[in-house]
Amino acid sequence: MNFIQRTKINYLLVISITIFLSWVFFSNDKNKFVSATEDSIESVVTIYSYKNNKSYVNNNIGSGVIFSKDGYIVTNFHIISGNKFIKIKLNNGQEFDAKIIGGDVNADIAVLKIQSNEELKPINISDSSDLKIGDKVLAIGNPYGIGVSVSSGIISATGRDYGNPYLELIQTDAAINPGNSGGALINENGNLVGINTKIISRTGGFQGLGFAIPSNNIVQIASELIQYGKIRSGWIGNFRVSPIRLYINKSFVSGLRIVEIDNYGPLFDKGIRVNDVIISINSNKGDWKNLTSSLKFAGLGNNIIFEILTNDNQYKTIEIESDEIKELTR
């Protein structure tokens, strides 16, 4: 056997092994997604919301996920906003009237409750902090009301805050269209990693920019809504602030000047006094919106970190632990 013949045989052998390994990889990948869909699709529901119970015109249609076997369902707040009558359609075709347990417009999360004689299948939930860019995901929902369907994609980014200053969102290129809102974003194991919430589109249809609320936030917020019917705001003391613009390091910086503060509460206990300026809140701008949003979710296990410029022009960082805030939540 000469050199050219051996080279041809080796080349064909390499090609054959590559094709075989590719087939194994894609076959396993396909089987994983099929299994993931089968495991989770039963836990995704269709939601119809109406302004009144005499109209059969769908004012809103969206999706939701079964959060617990006793009938709690999580969806987006914007699906039910302004409507009083809610119907839930399970994947097996059964329909139920739903009660609104609670919701929050800023978090865009609502919890509904249905009464079923049978135990429902809650969706399995994964830790969304484990997500990596490039992870494969499936979006399950009811786009345009045509029926529950599945689309695939990857995690394009994490920590996005586009259009929602209260939550960091997951970005995905899995197809998300009107009606998918409130539906499940699952990983290849069939576990929930997010609730699909919005798209960026010039046409109103999918253009590769979809966003989901991370599952860790879903668990925190849904648990709060189930227990209290709302997200409790944190309390760090009685104080008043006034917006101010400062020139620091050759640029203008937004801040909140303390104009009045009572001599009790976590903020005072950390040494904050009148004329101190809050220049940063959790690494975000020191403005009213970020202050209120940090307090809004302080009861959900989040600490608040303030960067302060004191009245005597000293910089310092203070951190108020979530446990301190929870004890004072009202």
Token reading at 209: 């920019």
Q: Are 197 and 211 in contact (CB under 8 A)?
A: yes
- Comparing CA positions, the residue from 242, 272, 274 lying closest to residue 255 is 242
Alpha helices in 47-163 (DSSP H): 77-80
The alpha carbon torsion through 316, 321, 327, 330 (nearest 10 deg) reads: 70
Alpha helices in the chain (DSSP H): 3-40, 77-80, 215-228, 266-269, 288-296, 322-328
Whether 78 is catalytic is: yes
CA distance linking residue 172 with residue 157, whole number of Å: 7
Tokens 């109406």 locate to: 50
CA distance linking residue 320 with residue 330, whole number of Å: 17
Q: Are 261 and 238 in contact (CB under 8 A)?
A: yes
Which of 40, 63, 78, 276 is catalytic? The answer is 78
Which of 108, 128, 149, 215 is catalytic? The answer is 108
Whether 108 is catalytic is: yes
Which of 49, 181, 215, 293 is catalytic? The answer is 181
CA distance linking residue 308 with residue 261, whole number of Å: 15
Residue 35 burial (CB count, 10 A) = 13
Whether 104 is catalytic is: no
Active centre residues (catalytic): 78, 108, 181
